[in-house]
Structure 1
Amino acid sequence: ILPFFYLPRVREIEIAVPNPKCGSPPFVSDMFPDRGPSPLVDMTSCPPPRPHNLRSLKVNRIREDYLKQLLGWMPHLQELDWTCDYGLRQNVPVFSSFIDLDAVCSALSRVQTSLTSLTIRTSSIWHVPGHIRHSPTLAGSLFRLQSFPSLKRLNLPIPLIFPWPALSTGDMAVPTYAWEYQLGNILPRSLEHLTLSDNFFL
């Protein structure tokens, strides 16, 4: 995966980036230990890529901590479409049903000045026998997005922008939205197009 980001003239990439196993260099080892050794070459001794012409990135699988490293390579990225996988998978500790929105903002801050379009999606993965599929647990907020000066287009699930406490009703966490929050106090002044989706719990 890593070599694609060394292409000097690449302007757009759509890719699934595996989260590294614990103790492994990011983007070098396979996230599926049951498939045997990764065929990828260890490139940790190479300098980090700097795809200066990359303007658009669509990426899935990767979680917020490793997204931060990935975006650190892209000083001029303008469009980001990121799908955050959450849930549980046996022997893969990087999967979690917990999403840290402060860590998401920290990752996005790497492209804070250049980013004009941001789409965030969530996708659930439950591969552990006996575990009930449920919605993720959220912590932190995305309020730091209001300091992104160039952001014009934003598309994300409603719960990511409106803080809410979860009310436990059996196996389902039901959100109660804090509608008293003013959108103007949360979102950047530069925003022109806003899409709030209701597919967070699918």
Structure 2
Amino acid sequence: METSYNETVVPAATKIAGSSRASMKQRRPLVIWFTGMSGAGKSTLASMLEKELQARGLRTFLLDGDHLRRGLNNDLDFSDASRHESIRRAAEVARLIVDAGIVVIASLISPFQADRDAARALFTSGQFFEVHVDAPFEIVEARDVKGLYKKAREGLLPKFTGIDSPYEPPIEPELRLNTAELTPQEGLQRILLAVDSLGADAGEALTHRLYA
């Protein structure tokens, strides 16, 4: 029986733990994972959050689904199998960046609960903060800032989430935001307050910097 290449891969051990990198920056890193349908407001809130954290002296990295599609995931289509793989890759990248002591802000539709659960499983307790950015379907479709729903209705974008591919809302996200009822600034403040509530074990150093 042939040996697969994966069986020969042995990651090089590092002598610097992620916790050590984090302590050097006076905070504990985590991933703030925005999930929701296109047009819900994920990218807006993720961008605002990154700007806020950077202004307060935190090192951040924004993982945006559209950007990943142009590079790391440009070999994938929108079949269910490719969507699973897309989120798997994004989660692995997020894990590596968090291990480097950086706060990751991930903005990804990530429509399937199982994929989000698998992403969460890569992180220690308190390091995965899921934000469900939600709004009624008629509102997200009416926003349609990229014209995607229109194209999907015309059959130009098969397997589009919300039209002919499902979105599975998170069962127990750390935070759920209805952007039909909240302004972006109100949503941002709720995110900051929710991260603050993580407490000493999960986010004390991060939020100390936020509210110092």
TM normalised by structure 1 equals 0.30
Structure with more strand by fraction: 1
Structure with more helix by fraction: 2
Structure having greater relative contact order (Cα 8 Å, sep ≥ 6): 2
TM normalised by structure 2 equals 0.29
